[in-house]
Amino acid sequence: MKYILDFDEVLFNTSALKTKMAELGISETERGHEALARIEELDPEFSFTSLVFPGALKFLKEHGSDCIIVSSATSETAENNTDLEKQLAFQAEKIARSEVEKLVQSVHVVGISKKEALRELQHSLTSEGEEVVFVDDREKYVREAHALGIRSIWMDRGGKGYVTNSEGVPTMLEFSRIGSFAEFVELVEKWQNQQKK
């Protein structure tokens, strides 16, 4: 089984990074290598590796050779998306500084959509006989992967439960929801046990 994983809020505590940036007076709209370098300048004790969720780190240490990161460089906050080149550099640098790329098979940083990267990975992995599972915290990307026929899991670290649309109707009900990698491991083991029956 191959695991395609999002980076922000799946492997990496991006909310904590935003809090750190605010504490240091660095605007969330700042992007590129310079913004991340300023964090370390202003707080030399800070370590990006400390923001990797412990359960995610454990999972990557155990299964990293079967993991691929596909991460979008665009932010949910529209004003952060004014310069795609800086966004791509910011995201790639953030992943590099977290050091998780040393533990995984490959890293793909994309723009506004993950669909093309997911399609290419799905084609290459399934042609090798691999089953593919995708984990993301954003509904848009979970749905993109699902539309391609990839088993898709919604990471709900905040425990928000199922989100609702503008009419108040719950969405995401068709997807498995997890809050941690411990829950993800349990879910995968359950699937594997069902396949053996």
Q: Which residues contact 142 (CB under 8 A, 6 or more apart)?
A: 134, 136, 152, 153, 154, 172, 175
Q: What pLDDT digit, counting tens, does each position of 82-98 carry?
A: 667 888 888 999 999 99
What type of residue sits at position 132?
A: V
pTM of full prediction above 0.85:
yes
Radius of gyration of the chain (CA): 17
Q: Which residues contact 8 (CB under 8 A, 6 or more apart)?
A: 14, 71, 137
More confident residue, 135 or 83: 135
Q: What pLDDT digit, counting tens, does each position of 33-78 carry?
A: 788 889 999 999 999 999 999 999 999 999 999 999 999 887 566 5
> Both tokens of residue 72?
């979008």
Confidence of residue 81 (pLDDT cuts 50, 70, 90): low
67 with 105: CB under 8 angstroms? yes
DSSP-based helix, strand, coil % in the chain, nearest 5: 50, 15, 35
Picking from 153, 146, 135, the residue whose alpha carbon sits closest to that of residue 8 is 135
Residue where the block lists tokens 């719950």: 170
Buried b (16+ CB within 10 A) or exposed e, 48-61: beebbbebbbebbe
170 with 163: CB under 8 angstroms? yes
Tally of CB atoms within 10 A around 112: 12
> Both tokens of residue 143?
């749905």
Q: What pLDDT digit, counting tens, does each position of 18-35 carry?
A: 999 999 999 877 777 788
CATH of the domain at 149: 3.40.50.1000
**C-alpha pair distances (Å), 25 with each of 13, 16, 52:** 19, 14, 22
The total domain count for the chain is: 1
Containing structural domain, residue 159? 2-196
